[in-house]
Structure 1
Amino acid sequence: MLGVSSLSGSGSGRYHHLDWQYHQVDVLPIMNDHPPAILNGSHGTMAWPHAHFEQRQQRRQQAVLDYRHHQQQKEETKNNTKKSTLLNLPVEIRLQIYTWILLQNPMRQAELSPGYPAPTPSAYLVTPAKPSVAEEIHHRCRHHHHSFLSNRPTGSIPTSLLQTCRQIYLEARVIPFHANEFVFPNWFASGLTAAVAFVRGLPCDWQRESMRFVRLEVTTEGYHPYALMHGVKTCKAERVRDWTELCGLWGVGLRGLRLRIAFRGERVLGDDEEWVQGWEKLKGLRWLEVELVGVEAGGGMMMGDEEKVRWCESLGEVINRGRGVGETVDVLCVKGVKA
């Protein structure tokens, strides 16, 4: 369909103009889902067919480039296998080698300030707060392939190995996230704030989804960045928001969580309705160890072991509410063991 102005004028001029018009349009594609023609300028030229052909040509060129890139990757992988003794080993042996390398390197964090040294992550051992459940836990761990989360290594990610070649990177990149325990201690502020900043800052979704084990220290004391901006010491609403966001980021990936909680005057990560929404987001969580430190039971009195066990049992009931068979979380009240 041509614009009315395109058909005006003398006979010879009209046919000349129509020839020019068809030269611009060439062949109209027969497609039912094209947008209507867009008339441009006083001559009513149709712009969308030209744009359509150009986009289609770009897609074809990109497909060719993608195919060539894929073929090049396959060829490079094949050549690497010929030249590398490591890549010629069975994949099970390669994965074991990657595990030894990636899990035996202690983490060394950069010091933000020499006057305030950062805590060095290290193994933190615990034992059940209720002695009578120790044998039960041992039996369950032996038969259900569970173990105390404190048995997990605390390491780092040596990037040199992951930068060796594409094949090694793809085979080994999830091992540190699956096996290491990520530690977020209290330092200046609650470990909850540090955990949110770290997990939110990961560049790839697969990294967040691959985190399996975490040790998190939470306290109501100290400062929250939002609270500092507004001149107050604590801000419960911001902590609730951080907790809910963090649980959403971990979602189905997190399997084991160790919580070291210190609160005075208000509940933290407990059975309060404000915190429950976060627990509901941890769909993949199966093992939870809770240590309560310096917790007031009321009237300035500290909670005893029995009260802590009851509190953790109540928390377990809240977490497992609405979970199906095979989705429940084992909640264990623990206390630290002095080395």
Structure 2
Amino acid sequence: MKKVNMNDVAKQAEVSLTTVSRVINNSGYVAEEKRKRVENAIRETGYLLPIQPEKPAHMENLIGLILRKISVNIFYDQLSSALLQEADKVGYSMVAMYSNGDLCNDNLRGYVEKLLKYKVSGIVICGFGDEYLSESLRELLQECGIPIVFVERTAGCYGFNRVLVDNSLGTYYATRYLIQKKHGRLLYIGFDKKGSVEKSRTKGFLHAVQEAGYADSQYSIYSCPDSSVASGYAAMKWALEKQADITGVVAYFDGYAAGAMQYLYEIGRKVPNDIEIIGHDDTYAPNLAPPISSVRMPFEEMGSAAVNMILENQGNTMDFFAKTVSLEPKLILRGGNAQAVFL
């Protein structure tokens, strides 16, 4: 027999899921007539009200954090650091759980259930990899009684608080900069994964070259099989063997840019004089030799937005789940050939 959930109650009472949540949690205004319909629907469907344990005083200011762990790409290390700093500013601590590899429906549920045992005040989830949340996981998050915030890779997480960055805009800025500097042949080093971030960054590159009227022969796209520096090396080698006159490169992340620079160093090509490279995320870029331009992700703003959502939504499990904060990346220019252009 199928377990009755809040969606079933909402359907029976002919009200929204938010209204059901307000009645169950006794928070927010609900018209008396609707309240009675929800209460009747709970009895008629046999819905079991979730147990909301009281939080011990010493755990009231604790936020749970779940995120991907990628050995080469330190994006999530930077993001977790920003979240910890923002939480500390408002007197909160964090308990973090890292996923070895993709964060998906299969393992996310286990991490959430473990964090709930800590009586956290909210949970921030960074880097969810599946296209959609499973029905059972969505139900758990809806009924856990605390705010949930998804950060980055949020395409399938509709109905919950989300903090996202316009990834297509970053690669668009980077590519347009190279075009404005009259680079006639370009390379995009992308990641061969069909997630929302990968698609968006490729889309930004294509938007810029097509907007500029580049012919297909004027640019190449290499899809790397993994997120390793070695893949960036292989991409640069492949591209120059195919088109030796490439002068501009946009990389999916700084690690690919580092690999491309390693190959160029080995064959005696100079960056940025011979080939100009722009990375993404601005993690390794400032410390490479020479430092290169990169698209900087707004880590501090992402952390601040996520923590503020947790604070604002205390006591409201569903009322604010649809809130979305959209942020923009920024192109940081470095190197002797960097020029100020309108972006």
TM-score (norm 1): 0.28
- Greater relative CO, 1 or 2 (CA 8 Å, sep 6+): 2
TM-score (norm 2): 0.28
More helix by share: 1
More strand by share: 2
Higher-Rg structure is 1
